[in-house]
Structure 1
Amino acid sequence: MHSNRIFNSPEPFHLAGTGERASTALLLVHGFTGSPSEFRRGAYYWQDLGYSVHAIQLPGHGTSPEEMRKTTWKDWMRHVILSYDRLQQAGYASIFLVGHSMGGLLSLLLAIKRPVSGVISLGTPIYVTTYKAAFARVVHPFVPYVTKKPRRLAQTLDEACAYDRTPVKCVVCLQKLVRIVKRKLPLVAAPMLILQGMKDRTVKPHSAAYIYKRCSSSQKRLHYMSESSHSILLDKEREDVYRRVDQFVQHIVAEKEVQEQPDPISGLIEVMT
């Protein structure tokens, strides 16, 4: 039935929903040097449940490190805003942001700028594990790229289509984005689901607790995935991640529907008057 599904492609994609959930859109925002491919497996899962799924490709990503080097965090943010606005214009009843890593940072910023239904933050960096990032601002004029280390975890699916080299100039942009989000987190009031892998070797796990404590959301959930790395969408607990996203979205949509139902007593008063 699903033999035509693609799992290794950096291209952006849109999967149409079906039934009652088709009016709920999930806007998927991938990570730094990554691509929409990291979301494909989860996107098919959510589409099978009826959701409309839209995975964007950030400028400079999914092409080449040389192309990425020409972009900044402002280009990435501009694209996320434009993508959200298009979904809103298309008439979806609810739009949830699902951001992985840097995509989580961009999603949090968008939640300040637009009335999103909810934000799902997956391995979003506030504190990173590598000391090398601190030198990026100094060395980027002289060292254009650094080569990434190969993956260490065999159980992680190799479907992210990420670059094997990182433009150092873009690391500086990422650091600036982290600082901006840290400062503005109290302005985030949308419902939040925060998932963080305990075996993440890129983002320090207490980043998730920082986001949870600092955001102003009245509805927020934090869960640590004990067996997951930074590749939380493709690691061995991925099905649990997809399921938790669905449960969170269902809960928020159901609450919204209850709030939007007219009060029968006030309706009766209107009729009587």
Structure 2
Amino acid sequence: MQALITEAQGLADKDPAARLFGTPEPFFLEGWGEHKDTVALLIHGFTGSPSEFRRLGYYLNDLGYTVKAILLPGHGTSPEDMIRTGFRDWWSCVKDEFAVLVRKGYERVIPIGHSMGGLLSLKLAMEEQVPGVVTLATPIHLGSRSLMFAAWVQFFVKYISKRRPAGWENMVNESLAYDRTPVPCVVHFRKLLFNVKKKLELVNVPLFIAQGELDRAALPASAPYIYNRVSSQKKEMKVYPNSSHGILLDSDREEVYQDISMFIAQLG
């Protein structure tokens, strides 16, 4: 499998029309030129996969940046695999991937996280030296009240089906998010959320917050909550009027990609 992925990625570098989309494997794109030693560490969301980051990854790599999109434990396979994992597994994965990049000598490793990946990116900025951090549709205020009862429901129901809003078909097919959510994992997700929420003042590096105005999973009020509680002197928040929770694949995606690249460029 790895050989096929490597071969396909090599083909994608030579022929943009052959680039992979809609595949859950982690991916690495070596940078070039003056930006080669800057790594965009892409961290996907809860029940999602690196597939949601492929378009952004190719965009940043075309600008010369090295790109590393990781696959969190229990993701990209099946809900049955995910139910055996929790926030400590997801966090350990992020720490380990960051450490590998540092050991390889990359000068700057910038965490860019979507949804739960944004929480993990903020946590990484609290505990490690990073030049900046990007959060995308990162939840503080949740749209689903049913998630509040996951701690009790998990003893009776192991999985809950997701409701797909009309018009999300293409985004779902490309993001490869699970169609069922393991309830015990929701409990771990909420633990991670609360852990990050109460320590936001520890984030003091440059920060870019992107939020979709149509987001019904991570409610738009989440973005200003993060913005107002971090200690960063340099911080920016932008709301995209035509974007839902799938901000990386929705109508404003090209603007989102451009804004992220401009933020990274300002980090030096």
Give the TM-score, by structure 2 length: 0.92
In structure 2, C-alpha distance between the alignment counterparts of 1:200 and 1:185, rounded to whole Å:
22
> Superposition pairs for residues 136-215 of structure 1, below 5 Å?
136-154=150-168, 157=171, 158-215=173-230
1:67 aligns with 2:67: no
SS in 2 for 1:233: coil
User: What is the aligned counterpart of 1:18 among 26, 29, 32?
Assistant: 32
Inter-partner Cα distance in structure 1 for 2:58 and 2:71: 17
Matched, 1:97 2:108: no
Per the TM alignment, residue 154 of structure 1 is displaced from its structure 2 partner at its CA by 4.9
- Structure 1: state its 5+ residue gaps: 254-273
Unaligned runs of 5+ in 2: 1-14
1:43 maps to what in 2? 57
In structure 1, what is the equivalent of residue 141 of structure 2?
A: 127
- Residues 58 and 154 from structure 1, CA distance in 2 versus in 1: closer, same or farther, beyond 3 angstroms? closer
In the alignment, the residues of structure 2 paired with residue 134 and residue 148 of structure 1 have an alpha-carbon distance, to the nearest angstrom, of: 16
Partner of 1:9: 23
Runs of 4+, deviation exceeding 6 Å:
none
Q: Distance in 2 between matches of 1:41 and 1:28?
A: 12
1:156 Cα offset (Å): 5.4
Cα distance 1:10–1:113, how it changes in 2: closer, same or farther (>3 A)? same
What is the CA RMSD across the aligned residues, in angstroms?
A: 1.0
Deviates more, 1:153-162 or 1:61-70: 153-162
Asked if 1:52 is matched to 2:66, the reply is: yes
Task: Note if 1:113 corresponds to 2:113.
Answer: no
Q: 2 CA distance for matches of 1:216 and 1:77?
A: 22
The structural deviation recorded for 1:252 is 1.1
Q: What is the DSSP-based 3-state SS (H/G/I as helix, E as strand, rest coil) of the residue aligned with 1:212?
A: helix
User: How far, CA to CA, are the matches of 2:133 and 2:102 in structure 1?
Assistant: 15
| Aligned-pair identity (%) | 49
Structure 1 residue 155 displacement after superposition: 8.3
Amino acid paired to 1:41: R
State the Cα distance separating 1:2 from its structure 2 match. Answer: 1.5
Once the 2 structures are TM-superposed, how far is the Cα of residue 161 of structure 1 from its aligned partner? 0.7
The offset of 1:6, in angstroms, is 0.5
Q: Contact between 1:7 and 1:37, CA under 8 Å: does it hold in 2?
A: yes
Superposed CA offset, 1:140-195 (max 9, x none): 01100000112423585331011000000000111111110111100111110000
Aligned residues: 253
Please say if residues 69 and 169 of structure 1, whose CA atoms lie closer than 8 Å, have aligned partners that are also in contact. Answer: yes
- Contact map agreement 1:156 1:231 (CA 8 A) in 2: no
Q: Could you say what secondary structure the match of 1:3 adopts?
A: helix
Aligned to 1:81: 95
Return the letter of the residue paired with 2:198: R
Match for 2:262 among 222, 241, 247? Answer: 247
TM-score, L = length of structure 1:
0.91
In structure 2, the CA distance between the partners of 1:151 and 1:181, relative to structure 1 (3 Å rule), is: same
Answer with 1 or 2: which has the greater Rg.
Answer: 1
- 1:128 CA drift (Å): 0.5
Shift of 1:4: 2.6
Equivalent residue number for residue 224 of structure 1: 239
